[in-house]
Amino acid sequence: MSTDKKRDLFDKCESFKRHKVAQEHGVYPFFRPLDDSEGSRVMIENKPRIMLGSNNYLGLTHHPEVIAAAKEALDRFGTGCTGSRMLNGTLNLHNELEEELATFLGKEAVLLWSTGFMSNSGSVGSLCTRKDIIFADREDHASLIDGFVLSQARLVRFKHNDMADLERKLEMNKDHAGGKLLAVDGVYSMTGELAPVDQIVALGRKYGCRILVDEAHAIGTIGPQGRGSVAHFGMTDHVDLVTGTFSKTFASMGGFIGCPQEVKEYLMHNSRQFMYTASFTPSIAATVLTALRIMRTQPELVEQCRSNALWMRSELERMGFNCLASNTAVVPIVIGSVAQMLWFNKRIYEEGVFANPVLPPAVPTNACLVRTSYMATHNRADLQEALDIFEKVGHEIGVIGPNKELMADHWKMMASSVGI
């Protein structure tokens, strides 16, 4: 008779201790609750901190017109739709937003989703089947990856932004009989890098692919009027599907796909994620619609966001920080090992800057980074204060300066000794 203990579903939960090591050493950086927010500054643990970890790129979460529109929708429609779009959950606000966003994106139609994550996982998971093949950048967002898995299509991943590797993979599968999808992020959320959308379109068309670009971090930060990477490269008429989220530039939550009308109608009647999810609230619809109109009429917000990010990247690189190849509102700061990054993030937080640490597997083990992002509403005084803090802590932790190599070895030893 076997004496082996049977596995319990919760065994993995009981053995998960990784976060507790960081908590014990006072360097755990996640799930910090905000007490108050003014946009570019937030109150956390009773201390004001410069917010460099928000995706509120145009600063519209506190715009008076946006707040007023949300309040008006609450008064008119109440707090929720209490049903799916297919049944009782479609408002005239939803239809109005779809029409205006389609015009903005240069697409025939737009379909709204209750979250940005679902706009990718639901769309790809419904459009692709096991008979199809998907070509995907290795750094595509998790929402796309979940869509790939749901679809059961064959997945072929190519090296990040490597067009030679993409063409090799396309050539190897040129005789595939099923449908083909080529899916990329327009702006990669961790590194701030642009995808070469023009080259991707050229290769995709050459090998008979439909093309999807996720514009979550591109809309509002790049392209004419902030229309995103597809418009930046002049590819609006050549990209089949454009997805995105309302949780960043649009100051709320939810998502969308820009697509041909027949694709919209197919998804409306075949995507389980769309059909069986309650539609987002009236206040969200009004918020996003107003944010879209502000972005269209105030393009200077897009330019201010971009100007702030480019200035910060230039100053950080002048100090000696490695900001990779970012050229958008996202500016990564490469730190080094997990331990070095955690202590760096702890110290800038203590000094008054909130930014986002990025750990493996999102990045290589010895290339952990702090992700900073910039808003149109950041002023130069706040940004200069943040730069002074980065420079001080950078020297202290050994990310920049003459002791950089020596300190890297120190942090490797530290990581080994404390188990981080």
pLDDT digits over 4-34, tens only? 678 899 999 988 888 888 888 888 889 999 9
Q: How far apart are CA 180 and CA 166, in angstroms?
A: 13
Q: What is the pLDDT of residue 410?
A: 65
Give φ, ψ of 296 to 5 degrees: -70, -35
Co-location of 113 and 207 in the same domain: yes
- pLDDT tens digit string along 24-78? 888 888 999 999 988 789 999 999 999 999 999 999 999 999 999 999 999 999 9
How many percent of the chain have pLDDT more than 70? 95
Give the residue from 297, 324, 339 where a domain finishes: 297
Co-location of 288 and 326 in the same domain: no
Q: Which two tokens stand for residue 233?
A: 């490269």
Which of 292, 316, 293, 294 has the alpha carbon at shortest distance from 374?
316
Q: What is the pLDDT of residue 365?
A: 83
Co-location of 44 and 66 in the same domain: no
8 Å CB contact between 159 and 138: yes
Q: What is the pLDDT of residue 361?
A: 86
8 Å CB contact between 71 and 78: no
- pLDDT tens digit string along 185-239? 999 999 999 999 999 999 999 999 999 999 999 999 999 999 999 999 999 999 9
Q: How far apart are CA 305 and CA 308, in angstroms?
A: 5
Examine residue 9 and state whether it is found in any structural domain, yes or no: no
Mean pLDDT in residue range 133-156 = 97
The domain that contains 42 carries what CATH number? 3.90.1150.10
Give the residue from 297, 318, 342 where a domain finishes: 297
Examine residue 42 and state whether it is found in any structural domain, yes or no: yes
Co-location of 82 and 183 in the same domain: yes
Co-location of 281 and 377 in the same domain: no
Helix (H, G, I), strand (E, B) or coil at 21: helix
Q: Rg of the chain's alpha carbons, rounded to an integer?
A: 23
Query: CB neighbours of 37 closer than 8 A, spacing ≥ 6?
Result: 43, 51, 61, 62
Co-location of 99 and 223 in the same domain: yes
Co-location of 93 and 113 in the same domain: yes
Q: Which residues pair with 214 in a beta bridge?
A: 185, 243
Co-location of 228 and 335 in the same domain: no
8 Å CB contact between 212 and 240: yes
Q: What is the pLDDT of residue 19?
A: 86
Confidence label for 94 from pLDDT (cuts 50, 70 and 90): very high
Query: CB neighbours of 202 closer than 8 A, spacing ≥ 6?
Result: none
Q: Which two tokens stand for residue 112?
A: 């709204």
Q: What is the pLDDT of residue 420?
A: 56
**How many domains, the chain?**
2
Co-location of 86 and 163 in the same domain: yes
Average predicted confidence (pLDDT) for the chain: 94
- pLDDT tens digit string along 301-354? 999 999 999 999 999 999 999 999 999 999 999 999 898 999 999 999 999 999
8 Å CB contact between 40 and 382: yes
Domain that holds residue 357: 15-51+300-418
Co-location of 204 and 320 in the same domain: no
Mean pLDDT in residue range 161-181 = 97
Q: Which residues pair with 50 in a beta bridge?
A: 41, 353
Q: How far apart are CA 392 and CA 398, in angstroms?
A: 10
Examine residue 6 and state whether it is found in any structural domain, yes or no: no
Which of 307, 265, 258 has the alpha carbon at shortest distance from 99?
258
Examine residue 3 and state whether it is found in any structural domain, yes or no: no
Co-location of 24 and 43 in the same domain: yes
Examine residue 4 and state whether it is found in any structural domain, yes or no: no
Q: How far apart are CA 29 and CA 351, in angstroms?
A: 14
Q: What is the pLDDT of residue 275?
A: 96
